[in-house]
Structure 1
Amino acid sequence: MAKLKINIVIAGRTYPLSVNTTQEEEGMRKAAAVINQLISKYEQSYAVSDKQDVLAMCALQFASKLEISKLSDQSENSEALDKINELTKLVNTHLE
């Protein structure tokens, strides 16, 4: 399958990209829109004179959300594993 060539605009700059599917294209465009909205929010809320600072703040927000989500998933998985182990012990006790 041929790669699709698209242009994504973030913070007023155009970035040419290649994607494999229209679904990837849609995801890239939606992500760029979210980033641009966040940039606009930061520029309105804070006295930021440099786009680099705004982009760094956006990157930090997205990365921290991802890490918090991972930690939450690990915690949930750990709790589920503990419950499975308890049930396994209970079943083993009744089978003996």
Structure 2
Amino acid sequence: MGEISIKINIADRVYPLRVDTAEEEIIRHAAKLINEKVKELQDSYTVRDKQDLLSMCVLQYATGMLKAERQVQTQDQGLEQSVHELDQLLSNFFTK
């Protein structure tokens, strides 16, 4: 797949980007989510400075991403422990 040029509008600013065609839909969706979150924050708080709203938006998304990563890591550790226990059970079964 090739690269294409697109323009993304985030918080009333246009950003020209060159993206892989496979990523275009994801990037456009991400920009839409950012704009919706900025609008939500703008409606909820008296903050009107776009930079402040974008900073708050980034903080919320980064926090969510870190929580998701931590949850996946915890699940991976639990899965690893379960596999280890199963391996020990099988080893004990076959060595008897």
Tell whether the structures are fold-level matches, with TM greater than 0.5.
yes
Q: For residue 6 of structure 1, what is the aligned residue in structure 2?
A: 6
Instruction: Quote the sequence identity (%).
Output: 38
**Cα separation, partners in 2 of 1:2 and 1:85, compared to 1, 3 Å:** closer
Q: List structure 1 segments (4+ residues) > 3 angstroms apart after TM superposition.
A: none
User: What does 1:1-96 correspond to in 2, within 5 Å?
Assistant: 2-21=2-21, 23-96=22-95
Shift in Å at residue 26 of structure 1?
1.2
Residue type of the alignment partner of 1:6: I
Cα RMSD of the aligned pairs, angstroms, is 1.1
Unaligned runs of 5+ in 2: none
Shift in Å at residue 15 of structure 1?
0.2
**Cα separation, partners in 2 of 1:91 and 1:2, compared to 1, 3 Å:** closer
TM-score by length of 2: 0.93
TM-score by length of 1: 0.93
